[in-house]
Protein backbone atom coordinates (compact mmCIF):
# COMPACT_ATOMS: atom_id res chain seq x y z
CA UNK A 1 0.00 0.00 0.00
CA UNK A 2 1.38 3.44 -0.89
CA UNK A 3 1.26 6.07 1.82
CA UNK A 4 2.13 9.74 1.99
CA UNK A 5 5.62 10.13 3.41
CA UNK A 6 7.80 13.00 4.48
CA UNK A 7 11.46 12.05 3.96
CA UNK A 8 12.08 8.65 2.37
CA UNK A 9 14.75 6.59 4.01
CA UNK A 10 17.61 5.98 1.60
CA UNK A 11 18.48 2.47 0.61
CA UNK A 12 21.68 0.88 -0.59
CA UNK A 13 21.08 -1.18 -3.74
CA UNK A 14 23.00 -4.39 -4.42
CA UNK A 15 25.17 -4.08 -7.52
CA UNK A 16 24.47 -5.53 -10.95
CA UNK A 17 20.85 -6.58 -10.43
CA UNK A 18 18.24 -6.07 -13.14
CA UNK A 19 14.58 -6.94 -13.02
CA UNK A 20 11.51 -6.94 -15.19
CA UNK A 21 8.67 -9.21 -14.05
CA UNK A 22 8.05 -11.93 -16.66
CA UNK A 23 4.63 -12.75 -15.22
CA UNK A 24 5.66 -16.40 -15.24
CA UNK A 25 3.75 -17.10 -12.01
CA UNK A 26 6.62 -19.23 -10.68
CA UNK A 27 6.78 -17.24 -7.44
CA UNK A 28 3.06 -17.94 -6.90
CA UNK A 29 3.64 -21.65 -7.42
CA UNK A 30 6.83 -22.18 -5.51
CA UNK A 31 7.01 -19.84 -2.54
CA UNK A 32 4.93 -19.75 0.64
CA UNK A 33 3.39 -16.34 1.33
CA UNK A 34 3.50 -15.41 4.99
CA UNK A 35 1.03 -12.88 6.31
CA UNK A 36 1.34 -10.22 9.01
CA UNK A 37 -1.33 -10.03 11.73
CA UNK A 38 -2.69 -6.87 10.05
CA UNK A 39 -3.04 -8.70 6.71
CA UNK A 40 -4.77 -11.63 8.40
CA UNK A 41 -7.27 -9.26 10.04
CA UNK A 42 -7.84 -7.42 6.74
CA UNK A 43 -8.42 -10.62 4.78
CA UNK A 44 -10.73 -12.07 7.46
CA UNK A 45 -12.92 -8.99 7.19
CA UNK A 46 -13.37 -9.38 3.43
CA UNK A 47 -15.97 -11.37 1.50
CA UNK A 48 -13.91 -13.22 -1.12
CA UNK A 49 -16.90 -14.33 -3.21
CA UNK A 50 -16.31 -11.78 -6.01
CA UNK A 51 -12.68 -12.94 -6.31
CA UNK A 52 -12.85 -16.68 -5.64
CA UNK A 53 -16.49 -17.44 -6.50
CA UNK A 54 -17.37 -18.41 -2.92
CA UNK A 55 -16.62 -17.27 0.61
CA UNK A 56 -13.25 -18.68 1.65
CA UNK A 57 -10.84 -18.49 4.55
CA UNK A 58 -7.75 -17.53 2.62
CA UNK A 59 -5.06 -18.25 5.19
CA UNK A 60 -3.97 -21.10 7.41
CA UNK A 61 -1.41 -21.77 10.11
CA UNK A 62 1.62 -23.69 8.92
CA UNK A 63 5.35 -23.80 9.37
CA UNK A 64 8.02 -23.25 6.80
CA UNK A 65 11.69 -23.94 7.52
CA UNK A 66 10.80 -24.29 11.18
CA UNK A 67 9.04 -20.91 11.42
CA UNK A 68 5.33 -21.10 12.20
CA UNK A 69 2.79 -18.47 11.21
CA UNK A 70 -0.14 -17.62 9.00
CA UNK A 71 0.31 -18.26 5.29
CA UNK A 72 -1.92 -17.82 2.26
CA UNK A 73 -3.69 -21.11 1.58
CA UNK A 74 -2.65 -23.28 -1.34
CA UNK A 75 -4.76 -25.19 -3.84
CA UNK A 76 -4.50 -29.00 -3.89
CA UNK A 77 -1.84 -28.73 -6.63
CA UNK A 78 0.29 -26.60 -4.26
CA UNK A 79 -0.13 -23.27 -6.08
CA UNK A 80 -1.43 -20.15 -4.36
CA UNK A 81 -5.17 -20.00 -3.86
CA UNK A 82 -5.25 -16.81 -5.94
CA UNK A 83 -3.23 -17.94 -8.95
CA UNK A 84 -5.52 -17.86 -11.98
CA UNK A 85 -5.48 -20.25 -14.96
CA UNK A 86 -3.65 -17.58 -17.00
CA UNK A 87 -0.82 -17.46 -14.39
CA UNK A 88 -2.03 -14.07 -13.19
CA UNK A 89 -3.12 -13.14 -9.68
CA UNK A 90 -6.87 -13.00 -9.10
CA UNK A 91 -6.44 -10.76 -6.07
CA UNK A 92 -4.50 -8.28 -8.19
CA UNK A 93 -7.01 -8.52 -11.04
CA UNK A 94 -10.09 -7.88 -8.85
CA UNK A 95 -8.78 -5.70 -6.04
CA UNK A 96 -5.59 -4.09 -7.33
CA UNK A 97 -1.94 -4.56 -6.45
CA UNK A 98 -2.10 -2.72 -3.11
CA UNK A 99 -4.39 -5.38 -1.66
CA UNK A 100 -1.86 -8.19 -2.16
CA UNK A 101 0.28 -9.33 0.77
CA UNK A 102 3.50 -7.40 1.23
CA UNK A 103 5.47 -10.62 0.61
CA UNK A 104 4.03 -10.78 -2.93
CA UNK A 105 4.68 -7.13 -3.69
CA UNK A 106 8.21 -7.36 -2.39
CA UNK A 107 9.31 -10.52 -4.20
CA UNK A 108 11.99 -11.05 -5.51
CA UNK A 109 13.51 -8.27 -3.42
CA UNK A 110 14.48 -8.34 0.21
CA UNK A 111 15.81 -5.79 2.67
CA UNK A 112 18.94 -6.92 4.39
CA UNK A 113 20.11 -5.87 7.80
CA UNK A 114 21.83 -2.65 7.07
CA UNK A 115 25.11 -1.37 5.75
CA UNK A 116 27.81 -0.07 8.12
CA UNK A 117 26.17 3.35 7.98
CA UNK A 118 22.85 1.81 9.11
CA UNK A 119 21.02 2.02 5.79
CA UNK A 120 19.12 -1.12 4.71
CA UNK A 121 20.44 -2.92 1.63
CA UNK A 122 18.20 -4.21 -1.16
CA UNK A 123 19.05 -7.72 -2.32
CA UNK A 124 17.12 -10.11 -4.54
CA UNK A 125 16.45 -13.80 -4.86
CA UNK A 126 18.09 -15.50 -7.83
CA UNK A 127 15.34 -18.11 -7.61
CA UNK A 128 13.36 -15.52 -9.64
CA UNK A 129 13.76 -16.18 -13.37
CA UNK A 130 14.13 -12.48 -14.27
CA UNK A 131 16.80 -11.81 -11.62
CA UNK A 132 18.70 -14.96 -12.61
CA UNK A 133 18.60 -14.01 -16.29
CA UNK A 134 19.70 -10.42 -15.56
CA UNK A 135 16.84 -9.06 -17.67
CA UNK A 136 15.20 -5.68 -17.47
CA UNK A 137 16.02 -2.34 -15.92
CA UNK A 138 18.72 -1.91 -13.26
CA UNK A 139 16.93 -2.16 -9.93
CA UNK A 140 18.06 1.32 -9.00
CA UNK A 141 15.11 2.54 -11.11
CA UNK A 142 12.81 0.98 -8.46
CA UNK A 143 14.32 2.82 -5.55
CA UNK A 144 11.26 4.93 -4.80
CA UNK A 145 8.83 2.00 -4.78
CA UNK A 146 11.22 -0.06 -2.66
CA UNK A 147 11.53 2.74 -0.13
CA UNK A 148 7.77 2.74 0.23
CA UNK A 149 7.72 -1.03 0.71
CA UNK A 150 10.45 -0.75 3.33
CA UNK A 151 8.41 1.79 5.24
CA UNK A 152 5.43 -0.54 5.16
CA UNK A 153 7.54 -3.48 6.26
CA UNK A 154 9.12 -1.61 9.14
CA UNK A 155 5.69 -0.51 10.37
CA UNK A 156 4.98 -4.23 10.90
CA UNK A 157 8.39 -5.27 12.22
CA UNK A 158 11.75 -3.53 12.48
CA UNK A 159 14.59 -4.76 10.28
CA UNK A 160 17.10 -6.76 12.28
CA UNK A 161 20.87 -6.26 11.95
CA UNK A 162 23.56 -8.58 13.23
CA UNK A 163 25.39 -7.22 16.28
CA UNK A 164 29.04 -6.21 16.05
CA UNK A 165 31.85 -7.09 16.21
CA UNK A 166 31.30 -9.73 13.53
CA UNK A 167 33.11 -13.02 13.96
CA UNK A 168 35.34 -13.35 10.89
CA UNK A 169 36.89 -16.73 11.65
CA UNK A 170 37.69 -18.66 14.87
CA UNK A 171 40.52 -16.25 15.73
CA UNK A 172 39.25 -12.86 14.62
CA UNK A 173 36.27 -10.57 15.07
CA UNK A 174 36.04 -7.26 13.23
CA UNK A 175 33.78 -4.24 13.10
CA UNK A 176 31.13 -4.11 10.41
CA UNK A 177 32.87 -1.36 8.43
CA UNK A 178 36.07 -3.44 8.32
CA UNK A 179 34.27 -6.56 7.11
CA UNK A 180 32.52 -4.45 4.50
CA UNK A 181 35.90 -3.18 3.33
CA UNK A 182 36.94 -6.81 2.68
CA UNK A 183 33.68 -7.48 0.81
CA UNK A 184 34.10 -4.30 -1.25
CA UNK A 185 37.63 -5.29 -2.25
CA UNK A 186 36.27 -8.68 -3.37
CA UNK A 187 33.59 -6.93 -5.43
CA UNK A 188 36.22 -4.68 -7.01
CA UNK A 189 38.32 -7.71 -7.95
CA UNK A 190 35.38 -9.65 -9.39
CA UNK A 191 34.05 -6.67 -11.36
CA UNK A 192 37.37 -6.12 -13.13
CA UNK A 193 35.92 -7.08 -16.51
CA UNK A 194 39.20 -6.77 -18.40
CA UNK A 195 40.47 -10.10 -17.05
CA UNK A 196 39.10 -13.64 -17.37
CA UNK A 197 36.90 -14.90 -14.55
CA UNK A 198 39.27 -17.72 -13.47
CA UNK A 199 41.98 -15.12 -12.84
CA UNK A 200 39.62 -12.84 -10.87
CA UNK A 201 38.35 -15.73 -8.79
CA UNK A 202 41.87 -16.85 -8.03
CA UNK A 203 42.83 -13.36 -6.90
CA UNK A 204 39.70 -13.16 -4.71
CA UNK A 205 40.35 -16.44 -2.88
CA UNK A 206 44.09 -15.75 -2.48
CA UNK A 207 43.24 -12.34 -1.00
CA UNK A 208 40.89 -13.98 1.52
CA UNK A 209 43.56 -16.53 2.43
CA UNK A 210 46.01 -13.70 3.08
CA UNK A 211 43.55 -11.74 5.23
CA UNK A 212 42.64 -14.79 7.29
CA UNK A 213 46.25 -15.85 7.80
CA UNK A 214 47.32 -12.36 8.89
CA UNK A 215 47.47 -11.75 12.60
CA UNK A 216 45.25 -8.67 12.57
CA UNK A 217 43.73 -8.38 16.04
CA UNK A 218 41.61 -5.64 14.56
CA UNK A 219 41.14 -4.03 11.16
CA UNK A 220 40.23 -0.68 12.66
CA UNK A 221 42.28 2.40 11.99
CA UNK A 222 43.66 3.84 8.80
CA UNK A 223 46.88 1.83 8.85
CA UNK A 224 45.16 -1.56 9.02
CA UNK A 225 42.63 -0.57 6.40
CA UNK A 226 45.35 0.68 4.06
CA UNK A 227 47.23 -2.57 4.60
CA UNK A 228 44.21 -4.64 3.59
CA UNK A 229 43.87 -2.53 0.44
CA UNK A 230 47.58 -3.09 -0.25
CA UNK A 231 47.08 -6.85 0.19
CA UNK A 232 44.32 -6.84 -2.41
CA UNK A 233 46.37 -4.80 -4.89
CA UNK A 234 49.44 -7.00 -4.36
CA UNK A 235 47.51 -10.24 -4.87
CA UNK A 236 45.82 -8.78 -7.95
CA UNK A 237 49.18 -8.02 -9.50
CA UNK A 238 50.81 -11.33 -8.57
CA UNK A 239 47.91 -13.31 -10.08
CA UNK A 240 48.01 -11.15 -13.20
CA UNK A 241 51.74 -11.79 -13.60
CA UNK A 242 51.28 -15.53 -13.09
CA UNK A 243 53.25 -15.55 -9.83
CA UNK A 244 50.31 -16.98 -7.88
CA UNK A 245 48.65 -20.09 -9.25
CA UNK A 246 45.78 -22.34 -8.26
CA UNK A 247 46.64 -25.26 -6.00
CA UNK A 248 47.77 -28.28 -7.96
CA UNK A 249 46.22 -30.79 -5.54
CA UNK A 250 42.60 -31.87 -5.83
CA UNK A 251 40.19 -31.55 -2.90
CA UNK A 252 40.79 -33.64 0.21
CA UNK A 253 38.32 -36.41 1.08
CA UNK A 254 36.57 -34.34 3.82
CA UNK A 255 36.33 -31.41 1.40
CA UNK A 256 34.83 -33.67 -1.27
CA UNK A 257 32.24 -34.98 1.17
CA UNK A 258 31.38 -31.46 2.31
CA UNK A 259 30.93 -30.27 -1.27
CA UNK A 260 28.66 -33.18 -2.10
CA UNK A 261 26.56 -32.39 0.98
CA UNK A 262 26.27 -28.80 -0.22
CA UNK A 263 25.20 -30.08 -3.63
CA UNK A 264 22.64 -32.46 -2.10
CA UNK A 265 21.02 -29.82 0.06
CA UNK A 266 21.07 -27.28 -2.75
CA UNK A 267 19.01 -29.39 -5.11
CA UNK A 268 16.51 -30.70 -2.50
CA UNK A 269 13.95 -27.93 -2.67
CA UNK A 270 10.99 -27.67 -0.34
CA UNK A 271 8.37 -25.83 -2.35
CA UNK A 272 5.24 -24.21 -0.95
CA UNK A 273 3.28 -27.39 -1.78
CA UNK A 274 4.79 -28.92 1.36
CA UNK A 275 3.05 -26.28 3.50
CA UNK A 276 -0.25 -28.10 3.33
CA UNK A 277 1.25 -31.61 3.20
CA UNK A 278 0.22 -34.08 5.88
CA UNK A 279 2.47 -36.06 8.22
CA UNK A 280 2.82 -39.01 5.83
CA UNK A 281 3.97 -36.83 2.96
CA UNK A 282 6.36 -34.85 5.12
CA UNK A 283 7.82 -38.06 6.56
CA UNK A 284 8.26 -39.67 3.16
CA UNK A 285 9.93 -36.46 2.02
CA UNK A 286 12.42 -36.77 4.90
CA UNK A 287 13.17 -40.40 4.03
CA UNK A 288 13.60 -39.39 0.38
CA UNK A 289 16.00 -36.63 1.44
CA UNK A 290 18.06 -39.11 3.42
CA UNK A 291 18.35 -41.57 0.51
CA UNK A 292 19.11 -38.79 -1.93
CA UNK A 293 21.78 -37.49 0.44
CA UNK A 294 23.51 -40.88 0.41
CA UNK A 295 23.41 -40.95 -3.40
CA UNK A 296 25.01 -37.51 -3.57
CA UNK A 297 27.69 -38.46 -1.06
CA UNK A 298 28.59 -41.31 -3.41
CA UNK A 299 29.04 -38.77 -6.22
CA UNK A 300 25.71 -39.25 -7.96
CA UNK A 301 22.11 -38.27 -7.12
CA UNK A 302 19.36 -36.75 -9.26
CA UNK A 303 18.91 -33.07 -10.07
CA UNK A 304 15.94 -31.20 -11.49
CA UNK A 305 17.09 -27.68 -12.17
CA UNK A 306 14.57 -24.89 -11.60
CA UNK A 307 12.91 -24.18 -14.95
CA UNK A 308 13.59 -27.67 -16.34
CA UNK A 309 11.11 -30.57 -16.31
CA UNK A 310 13.55 -33.44 -16.70
CA UNK A 311 15.53 -34.97 -13.88
CA UNK A 312 19.10 -35.90 -14.69
CA UNK A 313 21.68 -37.60 -12.55
CA UNK A 314 24.93 -35.96 -11.55
CA UNK A 315 26.74 -38.85 -13.21
CA UNK A 316 24.95 -38.23 -16.53
CA UNK A 317 25.49 -34.48 -16.29
CA UNK A 318 29.21 -35.08 -15.80
CA UNK A 319 29.51 -37.73 -18.51
CA UNK A 320 27.07 -36.60 -21.20
CA UNK A 321 26.57 -32.84 -20.89
CA UNK A 322 28.86 -30.44 -22.74
CA UNK A 323 31.68 -29.11 -20.53
CA UNK A 324 31.25 -25.78 -18.79
CA UNK A 325 33.92 -23.21 -19.50
CA UNK A 326 34.44 -20.87 -16.55
CA UNK A 327 36.03 -18.31 -18.86
CA UNK A 328 33.09 -18.24 -21.31
CA UNK A 329 30.98 -15.05 -21.50
CA UNK A 330 27.92 -17.03 -20.32
CA UNK A 331 29.60 -18.37 -17.18
CA UNK A 332 31.38 -15.08 -16.53
CA UNK A 333 28.18 -13.03 -16.83
CA UNK A 334 26.11 -15.30 -14.60
CA UNK A 335 28.67 -15.92 -11.89
CA UNK A 336 29.94 -12.34 -11.70
CA UNK A 337 26.36 -11.10 -11.35
CA UNK A 338 25.62 -13.68 -8.65
CA UNK A 339 28.76 -13.16 -6.56
CA UNK A 340 28.77 -9.37 -6.84
CA UNK A 341 25.06 -9.16 -5.96
CA UNK A 342 25.46 -11.25 -2.82
CA UNK A 343 28.65 -9.51 -1.71
CA UNK A 344 27.30 -6.02 -2.27
CA UNK A 345 23.90 -6.87 -0.73
CA UNK A 346 25.79 -8.02 2.39
CA UNK A 347 23.69 -11.20 2.26
CA UNK A 348 26.30 -13.03 4.34
CA UNK A 349 26.07 -10.45 7.15
CA UNK A 350 22.30 -10.57 7.52
CA UNK A 351 20.92 -12.25 10.67
CA UNK A 352 18.87 -14.58 8.44
CA UNK A 353 22.04 -16.05 6.89
CA UNK A 354 22.57 -19.33 8.71
CA UNK A 355 26.38 -19.30 8.71
CA UNK A 356 27.32 -16.59 11.22
CA UNK A 357 31.13 -16.53 10.75
CA UNK A 358 32.12 -14.43 7.77
CA UNK A 359 34.96 -16.56 6.34
CA UNK A 360 33.00 -19.87 6.27
CA UNK A 361 30.08 -17.92 4.78
CA UNK A 362 32.40 -16.69 2.04
CA UNK A 363 33.60 -20.28 1.61
CA UNK A 364 30.02 -21.32 1.03
CA UNK A 365 29.49 -18.50 -1.47
CA UNK A 366 32.59 -19.41 -3.49
CA UNK A 367 31.60 -23.10 -3.49
CA UNK A 368 28.56 -21.93 -5.47
CA UNK A 369 30.94 -21.35 -8.40
CA UNK A 370 31.70 -25.04 -9.23
CA UNK A 371 28.16 -25.90 -8.19
CA UNK A 372 26.70 -23.51 -10.78
CA UNK A 373 28.89 -25.01 -13.52
CA UNK A 374 27.61 -28.50 -12.72
CA UNK A 375 24.00 -27.34 -12.49
CA UNK A 376 24.28 -25.47 -15.80
CA UNK A 377 25.45 -28.72 -17.40
CA UNK A 378 22.52 -30.55 -15.82
CA UNK A 379 20.15 -27.87 -17.14
CA UNK A 380 21.67 -28.20 -20.62
CA UNK A 381 21.38 -32.00 -20.58
CA UNK A 382 17.78 -31.80 -19.35
CA UNK A 383 16.79 -29.87 -22.48
CA UNK A 384 18.99 -31.95 -24.77
CA UNK A 385 21.22 -28.99 -25.64
CA UNK A 386 24.56 -29.24 -27.39
CA UNK A 387 26.17 -26.20 -25.80
CA UNK A 388 25.62 -24.31 -22.57
CA UNK A 389 23.60 -21.14 -23.00
CA UNK A 390 22.79 -18.11 -20.85
CA UNK A 391 19.49 -19.78 -20.07
CA UNK A 392 21.27 -22.88 -18.71
CA UNK A 393 23.30 -20.66 -16.41
CA UNK A 394 20.15 -18.80 -15.34
CA UNK A 395 18.52 -22.15 -14.46
CA UNK A 396 21.66 -23.05 -12.52
CA UNK A 397 21.61 -19.78 -10.56
CA UNK A 398 17.92 -20.26 -9.75
CA UNK A 399 18.68 -23.73 -8.41
CA UNK A 400 21.84 -22.76 -6.53
CA UNK A 401 20.26 -19.80 -4.76
CA UNK A 402 17.15 -21.59 -3.52
CA UNK A 403 18.65 -22.82 -0.26
CA UNK A 404 21.71 -20.58 -0.17
CA UNK A 405 22.32 -19.40 3.39
CA UNK A 406 19.36 -21.31 4.78
CA UNK A 407 21.25 -24.34 6.08
CA UNK A 408 23.02 -24.00 9.46
CA UNK A 409 26.21 -25.57 8.15
CA UNK A 410 28.39 -24.56 11.08
CA UNK A 411 26.07 -25.36 14.00
CA UNK A 412 27.06 -27.98 16.58
CA UNK A 413 30.15 -30.15 16.83
CA UNK A 414 30.10 -31.37 13.23
CA UNK A 415 29.48 -27.77 12.27
CA UNK A 416 32.87 -26.80 13.76
CA UNK A 417 34.57 -29.22 11.37
CA UNK A 418 32.53 -27.88 8.47
CA UNK A 419 33.38 -24.29 9.47
CA UNK A 420 37.08 -25.09 9.27
CA UNK A 421 36.67 -26.68 5.85
CA UNK A 422 34.50 -23.86 4.54
CA UNK A 423 37.00 -21.30 5.86
CA UNK A 424 39.48 -22.61 3.29
CA UNK A 425 37.86 -20.56 0.55
CA UNK A 426 40.42 -21.49 -2.09
CA UNK A 427 39.39 -25.15 -1.77
CA UNK A 428 36.19 -24.19 -3.62
CA UNK A 429 38.19 -23.87 -6.87
CA UNK A 430 39.48 -27.44 -6.53
CA UNK A 431 36.02 -28.73 -7.50
CA UNK A 432 36.06 -26.98 -10.87
CA UNK A 433 37.41 -29.95 -12.89
CA UNK A 434 34.86 -32.39 -11.36
CA UNK A 435 31.99 -30.00 -11.99
CA UNK A 436 33.02 -28.24 -15.16
CA UNK A 437 34.16 -31.28 -17.07
CA UNK A 438 37.29 -29.74 -18.49
CA UNK A 439 40.28 -31.98 -18.49
CA UNK A 440 42.59 -31.04 -15.65
CA UNK A 441 45.43 -32.72 -13.82
CA UNK A 442 43.66 -32.57 -10.46
CA UNK A 443 40.25 -34.15 -10.89
CA UNK A 444 38.66 -35.47 -7.73
CA UNK A 445 37.25 -38.48 -9.56
S1 LIG B 1 -1.57 -13.60 -3.85
FE2 LIG B 1 -1.33 -13.32 -6.04
S3 LIG B 1 0.79 -12.54 -6.30
FE4 LIG B 1 0.65 -13.43 -4.21
S5 LIG B 1 1.37 -15.58 -4.49
FE6 LIG B 1 -0.90 -15.55 -4.68
S7 LIG B 1 -1.27 -15.40 -6.91
FE8 LIG B 1 0.86 -14.78 -6.53
Write a three-state SS string for 155-184: HHCCCCCCCCCEEEECCEEECHHHHHHHHH
- What strands, in cross-sheet order, belong to the sheet with 12-13? 12-13, 121-124, 109-112
User: Which of 48, 88, 92, 98 to mutate for ligand 1's pocket (most ligand atoms within 8 Å of CB)?
Assistant: 92
pTM: 0.92
Q: What integer pLDDT is reported at residue 215 of this predicted model?
A: 72
User: Which of 26, 27, 28, 43 to mutate for ligand 1's pocket (most ligand atoms within 8 Å of CB)?
Assistant: 28
Is residue 318 within 8 Å of residue 373, measured between CB atoms? Answer: no
CB-neighbour burial class of residue 172 (10 A; exposed 0-12, middle 13-18, buried 19+): buried
Distance from the alpha carbon of residue 309 to the mean position of ligand 1, in angstroms? 23
> What distances in angstroms separate CA 135 from CA 105, 126, 195, 220, one per listed residue?
19, 12, 24, 39
Please report the atom of ligand 1 found closest to the CA of residue 31.
Answer: 5
Listed as own residue / partner, the contacts of 72-77 with beta carbons closer than 8 Å and 24 or more positions apart are 72/32, 72/33, 72/35, 72/101, 73/276, 74/272, 74/273, 74/275, 74/276, 77/273
- The 8-class DSSP code of residue 9 comes to P
Distance from the alpha carbon of residue 285 to the mean position of ligand 1, in angstroms? 25
Please report the atom of ligand 1 found closest to the CA of residue 84.
Answer: 7
Tally helices (H) and strands (E) across the chain.
Answer: 18, 11
Is there an atom of ligand 1 within 6 Å of 91 CB? yes
Residues of the chain with pLDDT under 50: 1-6, 439-443, 445
Is there an atom of ligand 1 within 6 Å of 381 CB? no
- Domain ranges in the chain are 12-156, 166-240, 253-436
Is there an atom of ligand 1 within 6 Å of 183 CB? no
Angle at 186 between CA 415 and CA 18, to 5 degrees: 100
Distance from the alpha carbon of residue 105 to the mean position of ligand 1, in angstroms? 9
Q: What integer pLDDT is reported at residue 194 of this predicted model?
A: 87
Is residue 345 within 8 Å of residue 14, measured between CB atoms? Answer: yes
User: Which of 22, 25, 26, 33 to mutate for ligand 1's pocket (most ligand atoms within 8 Å of CB)?
Assistant: 33
Task: Report how far residue 336's alpha carbon sits from residue 369's, in angstroms, rounded to the nearest whole number.
Answer: 10
Q: What integer pLDDT is reported at residue 9 of this predicted model?
A: 63
pLDDT tens by residue, 379-415: 999 999 999 999 999 999 999 999 999 999 999 999 9
- Name the maximum alpha-carbon separation found in the chain: 71
Amino acid sequence: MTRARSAPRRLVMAKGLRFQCRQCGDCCRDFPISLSPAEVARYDARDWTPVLGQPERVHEYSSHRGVGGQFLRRKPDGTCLFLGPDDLCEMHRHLGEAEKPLACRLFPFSFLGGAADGRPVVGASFACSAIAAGDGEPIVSRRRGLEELLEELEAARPLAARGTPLRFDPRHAYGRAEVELVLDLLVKELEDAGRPLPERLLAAVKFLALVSSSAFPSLEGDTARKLVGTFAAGIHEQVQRGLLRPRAAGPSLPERLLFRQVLALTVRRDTAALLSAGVVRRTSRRVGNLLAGLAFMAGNGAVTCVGRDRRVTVGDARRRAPPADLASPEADGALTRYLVAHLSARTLLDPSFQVPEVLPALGLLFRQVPLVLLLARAACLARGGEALTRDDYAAALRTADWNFGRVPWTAGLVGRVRARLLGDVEASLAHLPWCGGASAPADEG
